């Protein structure tokens, strides 16, 4: 069985899905540009679809490997040139996947999905609903069908934002432009009320509370931060010395371990403290930011995966997820299309590997074997096996 024959079988399965499935049209569907990638050929876009009925007819005939719609609203979405479409506004979109997750290259697919989920929860709870005050009712969340999630903000407050304004939001979420001097300025200006300054402050406090008070164990920690043992020793000796805090005299390490803002006077005294604060800011950013794909958010003409469509590299559905359900959501269970859940299919693989899906583990051997249809679709779509 060649690749072409396998792809045709996959297309037939996608066709069956689209004939029987009613997709979820986005609001103001006639104002959206529709695009798709077929099973053979290149991307086709600049289409306009007027209704759910027309949409069903279109996907059943086109059988897209990937189906997209514009996050923007246009007066003339089917015009070929962007300037002729007459842009009316755009949703604020966040795309989270494995591309920007540290260490993703050494993770399994299951581990990647779990890690991206953590970043998605952080984005929604800490930044969108927390710092930016976006209401849960203004958010729509979708599993992308691939390796992550799409978060849509649907609000009059965001529709008219240009690319620069959206970039400011992504920079904020990623913790860009945080500096030691900026943190100290925020504190001295009495601006330490929330957002990143509060996150940094909590991280700084917890770090010094957990720093060993004995010299040798403390040095083991500090040597990982400073460039050499001499600098680490110098910093440790510095924070062991007393300093005045109000009417009291305390060791600097005790002031640094305190939850108040006095610690920044100590950290701002010299380059040693500023270097330490810079390190802790970077650690805060790495542990508390949300890894988002900036170009997706900043592009006001972006196409995004169509809800209910199939992802052409997995055969999984682009499925809506309730925010409250996200912590326990299992994409490799819930995103399997109903039409692929029953039945089996034969595949051919040139490699031996394992596959975890639908709470089951499959051992894929070299050669031919029969496995559940949904697993066969997944492996064929991801180019790891052929349908025979």
Going by C-beta distance under 8 Å and a sequence separation of 6 or more, which residues neighbour residue 386?
1, 2, 3, 5, 6, 347, 348, 349, 380
Going by C-beta distance under 8 Å and a sequence separation of 6 or more, which residues neighbour residue 351?
364, 366, 384
Measured in degrees and rounded to the nearest 5, phi and psi for residue 23 equal -75, 160
E strand intervals along the chain: 34-37, 44-47, 66-70, 72-74, 87-90, 92-96, 139-143, 149-153, 242-245, 248-251, 303-305, 319-320, 344-349, 353-357, 360-364, 367-372, 386-387
Question: Among the options 7, 95, 201, 294, which is catalytic?
Answer: 95
**Annotated catalytic, 97?**
yes
Q: Distance from first CA to last CA of the chain, Å, rounded? A: 6
d(CA 142, CA 23): 13
Question: Among the options 7, 201, 293, 294, which is catalytic?
Answer: 293
**Annotated catalytic, 293?**
yes
Q: List the Cα angle 264/188/237 in 5-degree steps.
A: 15
Measured in degrees and rounded to the nearest 5, phi and psi for residue 6 equal -65, -40
Is the CA virtual torsion 79, 83, 86, 90 positive or negative?
A: positive
Is residue 145 exposed (0-12), middle (13-18) or buried (19+ Cβ within 10 Å)?
buried
Question: Among the options 97, 171, 271, 299, which is catalytic?
Answer: 97
Half-sphere exposure of 95 (CA within 13 A, CB side): 20
Active site residues: 95, 97, 293
């Amino acid at each position: 069985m060649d690749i072409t024959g396998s792809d045709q079988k996959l297309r037939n399965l996608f066709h069956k899905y689209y004939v029987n499935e009613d997709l979820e049209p986005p609001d103001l569907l006639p104002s959206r540009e529709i695009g798709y990638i077929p099973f053979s050929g290149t991307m086709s876009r600049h289409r306009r679809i007027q209704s759910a009925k027309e949409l069903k007819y279109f996907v059943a005939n086109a059988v897209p490997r990937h189906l997209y719609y514009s996050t923007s609203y246009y007066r003339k979405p089917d015009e070929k040139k962007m300037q002729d479409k007459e842009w009316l506004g755009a949703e604020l979109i966040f795309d989270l996947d494995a591309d920007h997750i540290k260490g993703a290259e050494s993770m399994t697919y299951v581990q990647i999905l779990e890690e991206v989920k953590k970043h998605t929860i952080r984005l929604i709870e800490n930044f969108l609903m927390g710092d930016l005050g976006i209401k849960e009712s203004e958010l729509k969340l979708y599993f992308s069908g691939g390796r992550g999630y799409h978060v849509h903000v649907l609000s009059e407050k965001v529709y008219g934002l240009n690319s620069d304004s959206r970039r400011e939001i992504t920079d904020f979420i990623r913790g860009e432009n945080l500096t030691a001097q900026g943190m100290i300025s925020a504190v001295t200006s009495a601006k330490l009320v929330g957002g990143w300054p509060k996150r940094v402050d909590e991280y700084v406090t917890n770090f010094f509370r957990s720093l060993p008070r004995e010299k040798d164990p403390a040095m083991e920690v500090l040597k990982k931060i400073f460039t050499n043992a001499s600098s680490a020793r110098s910093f440790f000796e510095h924070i062991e010395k007393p300093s005045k805090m109000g009417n009291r005299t305390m060791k600097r390490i005790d002031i640094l371990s305190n939850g108040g803002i006095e610690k920044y006077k100590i950290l701002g005294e010299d380059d040693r403290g500023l270097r330490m604060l810079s390190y802790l800011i970077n650690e805060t950013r790495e542990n508390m930011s949300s890894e988002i794909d900036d170009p997706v958010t900043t592009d006001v003409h972006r196409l995004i995966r169509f809800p209910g469509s199939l992802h052409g590299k997995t055969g999984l559905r682009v499925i809506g997820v309730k925010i409250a359900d996200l912590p326990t959501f299992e994409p490799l269970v819930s995103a399997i299309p109903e039409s692929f859940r029953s039945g089996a299919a034969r595949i051919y693989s040139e490699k031996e590997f394992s596959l975890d899906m639908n709470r089951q583990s499959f051992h894929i051997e070299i050669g031919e074997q029969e496995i559940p249809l949904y697993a066969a679709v997944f492996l064929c779509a991801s180019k790891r096996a052929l349908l025979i």
